[in-house]
Chain A
Amino acid sequence: MTGEPLLSVQDLVVRFDTPQGEVHAVNGVSLDVGAGETVGLVGESGSGKSVTSLAVMGLLPAPAGRVASGRIAFDGNDLIGLPERDLRKLRGKDVSMVFQDPMSSLNPVITIGEQVTEILRAHEQVSKADARTRAADLLRRVGIPNAAEQLGRFPHQFSGGMRQRVMIAMALALHPRLLIADEPTTALDVTIQAQVLELLVALTTDLETALLLISHDLGIMARVARRIAVMYAGFVMETAPTTELFAAPRHPYTVGLLNSVPAIDDRGKELRPIEGAPPDLEEAPVGCPFAPRCAWRVEACWTTMPPLRPVSAGPDASGVDHSAACHNPVRADEVRGAAPLRPGFVPAPPPSAPASATTEAPA
């Protein structure tokens, strides 16, 4: 990749201190988002997607959440340890965010107009009249009819889709260079989801805003993202260009994820869910967190988490490479059956005494 990406997250580790002990929310996330690029971050609940995005915004819930190690750089500037004042200037102006539930992201007792102007007034000296004019323009841009009249209304007078449009209008008000959309369509009706997604993509393309789209919905990812990172239990397991990820996944977890999505031409066939459950995040990760559920596991999986490393022959045409954090990547012919097709291969049994397990030096 040429030059520094717009957002660069390297080996991010986030911990939460709770009365029950330390929660290992993010265990090592590396992620790049280039200027104007659309990147998808996919994973199930609790995989650390949202925590990663909050860490980028510098908004981990204090005092429980903290970045234990790693680096987050925006436009080449280190964000971790930046004073709150500087972070505040960045938020909304350079990096913005849209949340899952537009009802709870809007204050029920404040008019739409005032909430949209809030972001303008947080960053610029604008008169009330100017702010209102601009707010109306913003609402018009996200397709809200009679925008000027809507400014005086309250969130409960809007439908879910309209509220999410308002949130998008606010997030893009100052033409940020990066927009993080955390499950932006999950709380909406299916019929509205596509509209809101189209809008999000159209506007970010228009403004040349990079989009980090967080979702558990692979269908959305397939349509929107150019590149996808797959998260599991606080790790990025695999990252690849969208088409390649769907066509030739290399990580067993990605394979499992793709196989658990119902497809229209698989009608009548059984879905293949991933056996087992995600690990308890209160326990420190030892080895690969997916190992207990994995059919491809080898002995090393129980002791060492491999780093992300290139798995395809080289960078594809668009210049984004395909990497996976796996000791024993899935072969192309094994994807469909979701099982290793190697004569005599047996998933490595868990080490009998974990304490005596020889710890392999990280590669």
Chain B
Amino acid sequence: MMEEAAVSAAAAPPKAASGLRGVWAFVRASWLNALAVTIVTIVVLLAVFGPFLLGSKGNTADFANILQGPSASHWMGTDNVGRDLFARVVAGARISLTSAAVIVLLAAPFGCLLGILAGMVGGWVDEVLMRFTDLFFAFPAFVLAAAIAATLGPSLQHTILAVAIVYWPWYARLARSQVLTLREREFVLAARVSGSSTTGIVARHMVRNVLPIVAIQMSADAGNAILSISALSFLGLGAQPPTPEWGTMMAGAQDYLQTAWWFLTFPGLTLTFTVLGFNLLGDGLRDWIDPRLRGVLRGGRV
């Protein structure tokens, strides 16, 4: 049952599997987990250290080396103004990861706050908040994000905001459903009997039980967020050239598909693998913590 799953999820491996040992246990559980951790680790390392190592290579035009194929000096070739594609893809990793982090860190706390509020207070507050989130579910998320981004005006920041706005209702729904089952649990009654206040109960019992599930959702959403940002940028609503954002790069590469396959292929493949990595990570975490959560949390979504 879903209610049971939520709590036993939190109950399963709480602190016993912490730190590196926990990661190792997770990796050994399935080869998909190993793949997910590998991809995410590589992307994160590239995003953090890559730009330091590659310097300004990705921003320097070199008209003597326009549209060169992959070679020892340019691993992914060069683009239409001779910039090193590998350096730009690496720089793009930093942009994508930062955007995704900002999106989930905006959407998750806001959504959880409203969801917990709705679940705890109930009554008309619950009704109003949930009907409000229904408004968001009534539109296809991506179309809504595109509409918001277009209204705000094309820029990376506006796109991030737009995606966060369409993501938070999922967290509100998730948190609310968890709170509704948690509040009927006996330990909440026991806490009340001890004289704990409602805020104390929310902070101690609700948040702590909801957190692992929200964390899994956030890791799965990171991949979706990266994809959404790139897609919006590809459409011209997000990052603007010459920003080395993957979607923006691919939009610029469209015209050269016939003559320079690498120009579009490498940013595209990087994007695909990154999104795949995060989605696998989210699915893996969910199954690892509790397979019964499959119905509660959603998988890949655009």
When C-beta atoms are compared, the residue in chain B nearest to A155 turns out to be: B11
Indicate if the CB atoms of A101 and B193 lie closer than 8 Å: no
Answer whether A118 and B185 are a contact pair too, CB < 8 Å, given A108-B10, A110-B208, A156-B11: no
Binary CB contact string for chain B from 197 to 217 against chain A (1 if under 8 A, 0 otherwise): 100100011001100100000
Name 18 A/B residue pairs within 8 A (Cβ), A-sorted.
Answer: A88-B195, A91-B193, A92-B194, A96-B193, A97-B193, A104-B185, A105-B187, A105-B189, A106-B187, A106-B190, A107-B187, A107-B205, A108-B10, A108-B14, A122-B195, A122-B197, A170-B190, A170-B194
Q: Does B18 contact A (CB under 8 A)?
A: no
Residue in B185, B193, B195, B204 whose CB lies within 8 Å of A123: B195
Residue in B11, B14, B193 whose CB lies within 8 Å of A59: B193
Binary CB contact string for chain A from 129 to 158 against chain B (1 if under 8 A, 0 otherwise): 000000000000000000000000010100
**Shortest CB distance B233–A (Å):** 39
Indicate if the CB atoms of A91 and B209 lie closer than 8 Å: no
Q: Inside 8 A of B21's CB, which chain A residues have their CB?
A: none
- CB interface residues, A 83-131, toward B, < 8 Å: 88-93, 96-97, 99, 101, 104-110, 114, 118-119, 122-123
- CB interface residues, B 144-187, toward A, < 8 Å: 185-187
Q: Does A57 contact B (CB under 8 A)?
A: yes
When C-beta atoms are compared, the residue in chain A nearest to B193 turns out to be: A97
Indicate if the CB atoms of A101 and B186 lie closer than 8 Å: yes
When C-beta atoms are compared, the residue in chain A nearest to B182 turns out to be: A107
Q: Inside 8 A of A167's CB, which chain B residues have their CB?
A: 190
Q: Does B196 contact A (CB under 8 A)?
A: yes
When C-beta atoms are compared, the residue in chain A nearest to B11 turns out to be: A108
Q: Does B7 contact A (CB under 8 A)?
A: yes
Indicate if the CB atoms of A109 and B10 lie closer than 8 Å: yes
Indicate if the CB atoms of B197 and A99 lie closer than 8 Å: no
**Shortest CB distance A69–B (Å):** 24
When C-beta atoms are compared, the residue in chain A nearest to B195 turns out to be: A92
Q: How many residues of B contact A (CB 8 A)?
A: 25
**Shortest CB distance B9–A (Å):** 9
- CB interface residues, B 2-40, toward A, < 8 Å: 7-8, 10-11, 14-15
Q: Does B131 contact A (CB under 8 A)?
A: no
- CB interface residues, A 40-76, toward B, < 8 Å: 57, 59, 63
Of the candidates A104, A106, A107, A167, the one having the most CB atoms from chain B within 10 angstroms of its own CB is A107
Q: Inside 8 A of A119's CB, which chain B residues have their CB?
A: 194-196
**Shortest CB distance B285–A (Å):** 16
Q: Does B192 contact A (CB under 8 A)?
A: yes
CA distance A167 to B194 in the complex (A): 11
Q: Inside 8 A of B10's CB, which chain A residues have their CB?
A: 108-109
When C-beta atoms are compared, the residue in chain B nearest to A120 turns out to be: B194
Q: Inside 8 A of A154's CB, which chain B residues have their CB?
A: 14-15
CA distance A101 to B190 in the complex (A): 11
CA distance A170 to B123 in the complex (A): 32
Indicate if the CB atoms of A91 and B14 lie closer than 8 Å: no
Pairs A-B, 4 closest by C-beta atoms = A92-B195, A108-B11, A119-B194, A92-B194
- Binding site secondary structure of chain B: helix
| Residues on B facing A (Cβ under 8 Å) | 7-8, 10-11, 14-15, 123, 185-187, 189-197, 200, 204-205, 208-209, 212
Of the candidates B191, B208, B212, the one having the most CB atoms from chain A within 10 angstroms of its own CB is B191
CA distance A110 to B14 in the complex (A): 9
Indicate if the CB atoms of B189 and A99 lie closer than 8 Å: yes
CA distance A109 to B11 in the complex (A): 6
**Shortest CB distance B191–A (Å):** 7
Indicate if the CB atoms of A118 and B192 lie closer than 8 Å: no
Indicate if the CB atoms of B208 and A96 lie closer than 8 Å: no
Q: Inside 8 A of B15's CB, which chain A residues have their CB?
A: 154
When C-beta atoms are compared, the residue in chain B nearest to A92 turns out to be: B195
CA distance A107 to B200 in the complex (A): 14
Indicate if the CB atoms of A59 and B192 lie closer than 8 Å: yes
Indicate if the CB atoms of B195 and A105 lie closer than 8 Å: no
When C-beta atoms are compared, the residue in chain A nearest to B191 turns out to be: A118
Indicate if the CB atoms of A99 and B190 lie closer than 8 Å: yes
Q: Inside 8 A of A93's CB, which chain B residues have their CB?
A: 195
CA distance A358 to B189 in the complex (A): 45
CA distance A304 to B233 in the complex (A): 79
Q: Inside 8 A of A104's CB, which chain B residues have their CB?
A: 185-187
When C-beta atoms are compared, the residue in chain A nearest to B208 turns out to be: A109
Of the candidates B185, B186, B197, B205, the one having the most CB atoms from chain A within 10 angstroms of its own CB is B186
- CB interface residues, A 252-266, toward B, < 8 Å: none
Q: Inside 8 A of A122's CB, which chain B residues have their CB?
A: 194-197, 200
Q: Inside 8 A of B191's CB, which chain A residues have their CB?
A: 107, 118
**Shortest CB distance B293–A (Å):** 15
Q: Inside 8 A of B209's CB, which chain A residues have their CB?
A: 107, 109
**Shortest CB distance A297–B (Å):** 38
- With A105-B186, A109-B208 given, name 15 new contacts (CB 8 A): A88-B197, A90-B195, A91-B193, A91-B195, A96-B194, A104-B186, A104-B187, A108-B7, A108-B8, A114-B204, A118-B191, A118-B194, A123-B195, A154-B15, A171-B194
When C-beta atoms are compared, the residue in chain B nearest to A85 turns out to be: B197
